[in-house]
Amino acid sequence: MLPEATGSWTKGEARHLLNRAGFGGSPEDVVKFHALGREKAVEFLLMPEERIETFPLPKWADLAVAMEEVGDAMAERMKMRREMRDMTPAEAEKAKKMAGKEQRMEQRRHAIEAQGWWFRRMLVTKAPLREKMTLFWHDHFATSVQKVKQPVLMMNQNELFREHATGNFRELTQKVVRDPAMMLYLDTQRSSKENPNENFAREVMELFTLGEGNYTEEDVKEAARAFTGYRLNRLNGDVTQSRNAWDGGEKSIFGNTGKFNGTDVVKLIFKKERCAEFMAEKLWEYFAYENPSTEAVKALGKTLRDADYEIAPVLREIFLSKEFYGEKAVGTQIKCPVQYLVQMLKEMEMNEPPIGFPIYGQAQLGQVLFMPPNVAGWDWGKAWVNTNTLLTRYNLAGNLTKGSFDEGMGGGKMRQAFRDRMKNRGGKTGAEPVFSEIANVVVRNDTEALVDGLIARFISLPIPEKARQSFLEYAESKKGISFTDKELGELCHLMMSTPYYQLC
pLDDT exceeds 80 at position 493: yes
Looking at residue 70, its pLDDT comes to 61
Give residues with Cβ within 8 angstroms of 392, minimum separation 6. Answer: 364, 365
| Distance from C-alpha of 91 to C-alpha of 235, rounded to nearest angstrom | 29
Helix axes 38-46, 311-319, angle to 10 degrees: 150
3-class secondary-structure state, position 258? strand
**CA 82 to each of CA 28, 79, 101, 103, 431: distance values in angstroms, whole numbers, following the listed order:** 64, 5, 20, 19, 50
Q: What mean pLDDT is reported for the chain?
A: 92
Give residues with Cβ within 8 angstroms of 253, minimum separation 6. Answer: 219, 222, 223, 226, 260, 265, 268
Tell me if 239 sits within 8 A of 178, measured CB to CB: yes
Residue 38's identity, in one-letter code, is R
Give residues with Cβ within 8 angstroms of 156, minimum separation 6. Answer: 61, 63, 180, 181, 237
User: Which tens digits make up the pLDDT trace of 318-375?
Assistant: 999 999 999 999 999 999 999 999 999 999 999 999 988 999 999 999 999 999 999 9
| Distance from C-alpha of 70 to C-alpha of 64, rounded to nearest angstrom | 10
Give residues with Cβ within 8 angstroms of 255, minimum separation 6. Answer: none
Looking at residue 497, its pLDDT comes to 97
What does 189-215 look like in DSSP terms, one character per residue?
Answer: GG--SSS--HHHHHHIIIIIIS-TTSS
Burial category of 464 from C-beta neighbours within 10 Å (exposed 0-12, middle 13-18, buried 19 and up)? exposed
Name the most confidently modeled range: 237-241, 249-253, 407-411.
Answer: 249-253
| Distance from C-alpha of 235 to C-alpha of 63, rounded to nearest angstrom | 10
3-class secondary-structure state, position 107? helix
| Distance from C-alpha of 394 to C-alpha of 400, rounded to nearest angstrom | 10
Kindly provide the residue ranges of all beta strands, DSSP E only, lying in 180-278, ordered along the sequence.
230-232, 239-241, 251-253, 256-258
Neighbours of 472 (CB within 10 A): 15
Residue 430's identity, in one-letter code, is G
Looking at residue 62, its pLDDT comes to 87
- Give the distance from CA 340 to its chain's centroid: 12
Looking at residue 236, its pLDDT comes to 78
User: Which tens digits make up the pLDDT trace of 16-61?
Assistant: 999 999 999 999 999 999 999 999 999 999 999 999 999 999 999 9
Could you tell me the pLDDT band of residue 424, with boundaries at 50, 70 and 90?
low
- Give the distance from CA 320 to its chain's centroid: 24
Looking at residue 65, its pLDDT comes to 74
Neighbours of 459 (CB within 10 A): 20
| Distance from C-alpha of 102 to C-alpha of 502, rounded to nearest angstrom | 40
Which of 363-387 are b and which e, b meaning 16 or more Cβ less than 10 Å from the residue's Cβ?
ebbbbbbbbbeebebbeeeeebbee
**CA 267 to each of CA 153, 223, 467: distance values in angstroms, whole numbers, following the listed order:** 26, 12, 54
Q: Span 258-282, mean pLDDT? A: 98
3-class secondary-structure state, position 240? strand
Neighbours of 185 (CB within 10 A): 25
- Percent of the chain having pLDDT more than 90? 81
**CA 418 to each of CA 353, 400, 404, 410: distance values in angstroms, whole numbers, following the listed order:** 13, 16, 14, 11
**CA 443 to each of CA 295, 420, 436, 454: distance values in angstroms, whole numbers, following the listed order:** 48, 40, 10, 11
Looking at residue 68, its pLDDT comes to 66
Tell me if 150 sits within 8 A of 107, measured CB to CB: yes
Tell me if 15 sits within 8 A of 331, measured CB to CB: no
Half-sphere exposure of 483 (CA within 13 A, CB side): 27
Neighbours of 271 (CB within 10 A): 10
Could you tell me the pLDDT band of residue 251, with boundaries at 50, 70 and 90?
very high
Helix (H) / strand (E) element for 114: namely helix 89-124
Rounded to a whole number of angstroms, the CA Rg of the chain reads 25
The single-letter DSSP state of residue 288 is T
Tell me if 63 sits within 8 A of 233, measured CB to CB: no
User: Which tens digits make up the pLDDT trace of 76-128?
Assistant: 666 666 777 778 888 777 767 776 678 789 899 999 999 999 999 999 999 99
pLDDT exceeds 80 at position 469: yes
pLDDT exceeds 90 at position 177: yes
Tell me if 252 sits within 8 A of 258, measured CB to CB: no
Phi, psi (deg, nearest 5) at residue 85:
-65, -30
Q: Span 274-290, mean pLDDT? A: 98
User: Which tens digits make up the pLDDT trace of 394-415?
Assistant: 999 999 998 766 655 554 554 5
Could you tell me the pLDDT band of residue 427, with boundaries at 50, 70 and 90?
very low
- Give the distance from CA 237 to its chain's centroid: 24
3-class secondary-structure state, position 105? helix
Tell me if 123 sits within 8 A of 353, measured CB to CB: yes
Q: Span 427-441, mean pLDDT? A: 80
Helix axes 128-140, 151-163, angle to 10 degrees: 120
